[in-house]
Structure 1
Amino acid sequence: MSTTAVTAPMRNYRGRFAPSPSGPLHFGSLVAAVGSYLDAKSNQGAWLVRIEDIDTTRVIEGADTDILTTLEAYGLQWDEDVAYQTKRHHLYAHTIEYLNSQQGVYACHCSRKEIKALGGIYQGHCQSLQHSQQNSALRLIQRHATCHYNDLIQGDINVDHALAHEDYLIKRSDGLYAYQLVVVVDDIEQGITNVVRGADLLEPTARQLSLFKQLDKPAPRYAHLPLAVAKPGFKLSKQNYAPAIDIKNPKPALLNAFEFLGLAPSTELLSLNIDEMMTWAINNYTLQNIPKVQQIQISQQLQSKAPQFTHL
């Protein structure tokens, strides 16, 4: 039943799945996990798991253990030790020191309310005020704005010019490092070559690409999967109370994820064990078959044996 690969496997492929421990995995996060895993394994690459717990205000105790247990139940086994962002603060601090040495950072005292009142895009108000960086938010001086890039699934992506040129936060005033900084530092340190994740991150990718340039490091290749949505514009997420996937009966949801990713699986796969199902998926997966849309609406119960999807 296997298909011929369109391209030869990449050498030294390193991919990753990076969930936040703010709740259990739902169908949308399963799609991201399975998509990134299949892309890595079909390229004979390594698949890493990184727990993105840098925003400690959103962490739910025990969620990381639940996520890892769920991944194992679905046949998604990582290749190296799980990385936790809260154990990597020294890397982020070192990167900010480097950016400071390049005169690429300044302290900012502007509130979200003030920025919103000025149109929602930060205009560099504090850059010339020379605030102390101690107990301040820190912004990156945007020197390599990225307004356009090519995504391996979604194609040409254009980002709003003003947003692309914004000096964005790399450290919050409460002392927490910002996502846009840590995700780039992590990908550099872990040698990530390919990032397969949800299309909700298409816009932040432009900022991440600019930071790779500013740090003079090669950027990964990006492939943004369609989002699973309950209705147009309403993605499945922990914040929207999406139901957790079934850890005791993973086969139906796994089959649904295969179909979502364009593999056209048969219900006969349900007679196989989880490892056999995953082997079938690796042998039949191609990035080219993933629907080139940003959202796919789930029109039946997520765990059903015969799901129906509507491409938006």
Structure 2
Amino acid sequence: MADAGTPLLEARDLVKHYQIRKGVLGRPVGTVHAVDGISFAIPRGKTVGLVGESGSGKSTAARLVSRLIEPTSGEVRFDGQDVLAMRGKEVKALRRRMQMVFQDPFGSLNPRLTVGDIVGEPLEVHRVASGRARTDRVVEVLETVGLSGRDLHKFPHQFSGGQAQRIGIARALATNPDLIICDEAVSALDVSVQAQVLNLLKRLQRELGLSYLFIAHDLNVVRYMADELCVMYMGEIVERGDGDAVFADPQHPYTQMLLAAIPGHDPVTARAQERGVATGEVPSASAPPSGCRFHTRCPAVFDRCPTEHPPLYDAGQPGRVAACHLLDEPRQVQRA
């Protein structure tokens, strides 16, 4: 086990490309840039949020760090160990310490199994407990998420959406993991139920010392959950920093666009008001724009944007970075 100063999870320059094949022979005719060189780290007991529009690469990133799919290149380390070098029993041991909660609470639960079998299955797979010990552990985690032992013999269809998601959380907790990846875990729920599940996740983090990778398209939800926020656009992280700081003073025009889309939210910076509102559709991931990938939609575009790919510039606060040339040439904010 790594020392306490090492991040629990660290992704470095992570890339995932898919080849587009056509014809009888399946000849490659193009490449989908699903994830393109992202880096982030999750400290122990903390939450990192990934936010962005559909198709920005958030869920692909989650599947890469959990080793559900293999990256094209890059590095993933968990508790100081190279995840991509793991084989066989090492990968199985990783699964025990890194669990997932999925978007669709009913789609992720086997309708033919009882709640006891759904939550108890990871205990059998990882040989954590069996028999009476297994049942006791299942009841324990059900009670932890607000359900009870009376639910052991019920089936998923007998529960509401919020209750079904609690079952999914209980299944993730069963093996006592260190990290839980929440992939749009509340987006399918009503707003009032969202609040209940989010409060549950926060409480579990305090009580159990859990770390979360929290993925959502709703900035308000991610702001409530995340200590650090990573904003993704077309497979890249375009802004990263403290969650409250990013929400209060967004540096990238895309982040400002996401904030402006929140009903009733007033864009808080003068820069956002001067630049205007981004327009247009997201370009195809198989043909990303040259230079800054957001330049085709950005109201503040200038001559460098279509030709130079922006690095993550220092945004003036500890840990704050944004991939926008305006941070390198702030005078461009004044342009008409």
Say whether the fold is shared (TM-score over 0.5).
Answer: no
Of structures 1 and 2, the one with the larger relative CO (CA 8 A, separation 6+) is 1
Bigger Rg, which one: 2
Larger % of strand: which?
2
TM-score computed with the length of structure 2 as normaliser: 0.32
